Amino acid sequence: MEELKRIISRLKNNPLFYMSQASKELFHSNFWEWLAKMNKIETLKIFSDTQYEELNLSFKREFNQTFKQIVPEKEIIKSKNDMVFLQGKGKKHKVVLVIENKVKDFPYEEQLKRIRDSFNNDAIEYVLDTLYWNEGLRFNGWNKILRYNQIADKIKPELFTKNSFESSLIESYKEFCQTLHDLASVLPNTNYYDFTFSLNRPFTMKLNEVKLAEGYSKMRANHFLFMYKKPYDFIECNYSINHQKATISVAYPLKDKYKIGVQLEGNQKRRFVKGVNHKTFAANLRQQSLFFSATWQSPKEKKPFLGYKPDFTYQYDLIKEVKSYDTLFSEIDEILKYVNEKKNIIEQYIP
């Protein structure tokens, strides 16, 4: 915690930190755009080891890409990209490098897949810049992963400008990137469910001073699911952020597009059902003492269920102490195996 405090203090002493607060991702992309206007080739070298000719090289911010997929779904795939580099003139130009930048956020695999699919071109370099990372993680087709210390190392102010003021800004930016990386490097990256406000409040509140707790939670939730080995291939796993809390869902699909499963949010381990008539389905199961407890009541409202719109009903048990991933994995699997054994009976109570 003391090292975290020191690094956050360094961060707050850099004026570029305050300039970045309006939009963390856009700030960095805008700074790279400024660098590219001064020297396109040297900016490109920050992100790529490929040798490109400066002739007819250009860049674009917030580049929109669309690909019409004829077979099999006839789907139009769209993406909005932080920054791209192009080679060639006019309509004959081609995209050679695509940058996806993540600072306060952590990449979703679906988003990165959509970006690649929208270009439909494996010859393009796809570069992910990320503050948070776990060794061993992989995103298909995104083989170039840049951390912010690497970005700082590759920027040479003297190659961009001879103006002392501009040079000092670039030096401040390098220090800013390095400090961000130093902060990310000291954040706990364990195999324990210890990254929620309710189970580690002093740490998460400190990290939230620089508005980075949410991105950290996403990274840890992603890592949790990366480590989880599904007992059945058809199990659906995902995570999201709700009110700065990571919500991890593991769902068993049922007929008529209903789902049943386990959700972790903060210090709650939830049993849930999801579907059009979720409340009736949940009540039916409770009445038969299937999946849900017939005696459970919410502490405040004294209700048999809680839920949220449009289609989610749940009961929960409290996670009263930090548990290992393996412990939680076993608890989740036990519930899923119960569902698998009782699936035919459970589906009879779908309204």
For 313-346, what is each residue's pLDDT tens digit?
999 999 999 999 999 999 999 999 999 999 999 9
Residue 5: predicted pLDDT = 83
CATH 3.40.1350, the chain: domain bounds: 2-186
Rounded average pLDDT over 194-219: 84
Q: How confident is the model at residue 21 (pLDDT cuts 50, 70, 90)?
A: low
pLDDT at residue 186 greater than cutoff 90: no
pLDDT tens digits for range 212-261 = 888 888 889 988 998 999 999 999 999 988 877 889 999 999 999 999 99
Residue 105: predicted pLDDT = 75
Residue 54: predicted pLDDT = 74
Q: How far is it, in rounded angstroms, from Cα 326 to Cα 57? A: 50
Q: Give the side-chain half-sphere CA count within 13 A for 91.
A: 0
- Of 17-21, 92-96, 210-214, 346-350, the least confident: 17-21
CATH match of 2-186 with 3.40.1350: yes
pLDDT at residue 1 greater than cutoff 80: no
Q: How far is it, in rounded angstroms, from Cα 345 to Cα 284? A: 11
Q: How confident is the model at residue 53 (pLDDT cuts 50, 70, 90)?
A: confident
Percent share of the chain, pLDDT over 70 = 97
Q: Give the side-chain half-sphere CA count within 13 A for 303.
A: 12
pLDDT at residue 162 greater than cutoff 70: yes
pLDDT at residue 72 greater than cutoff 70: no
* Range with the largest mean pLDDT of 52-61, 84-93, 151-160: 151-160
What is the amino acid identity at position 163? Answer: N
pLDDT tens digits for range 96-125 = 999 999 887 777 788 899 999 999 899 999
- Of 39-43, 55-59, 328-332, the least confident: 55-59
Rounded average pLDDT over 27-37: 92
pLDDT at residue 131 greater than cutoff 80: yes
pLDDT at residue 18 greater than cutoff 70: no
Q: How far is it, in rounded angstroms, from Cα 345 to Cα 302? A: 28
Rounded average pLDDT over 186-214: 85
Residue 66: predicted pLDDT = 85
Cβ-in-10-Å burial (0-12, 13-18, 19+) of 140 comes to exposed
Q: What is the pTM of this model?
A: 0.77
Rounded average pLDDT over 44-54: 88
DSSP 24-91: HHHHHHHHHHHHHHH-HHHHHHHH--S---STTEEEEEEEEEEEEE-SSS-EEEEEEEEEEEEESSGG
Q: How confident is the model at residue 22 (pLDDT cuts 50, 70, 90)?
A: low
Q: How confident is the model at residue 202 (pLDDT cuts 50, 70, 90)?
A: confident
Q: SS3 of 293, please?
A: coil
* Range with the largest mean pLDDT of 14-28, 69-83, 138-152: 138-152
Q: What are phi and psi of 111, to 5 degrees?
A: -65, -45
pLDDT at residue 296 greater than cutoff 90: yes
Q: How far is it, in rounded angstroms, from Cα 1 to Cα 15? A: 23
CB-CB contact of 162 with 295 (8 Å) = no
pLDDT at residue 303 greater than cutoff 80: yes
Residue 192: predicted pLDDT = 94
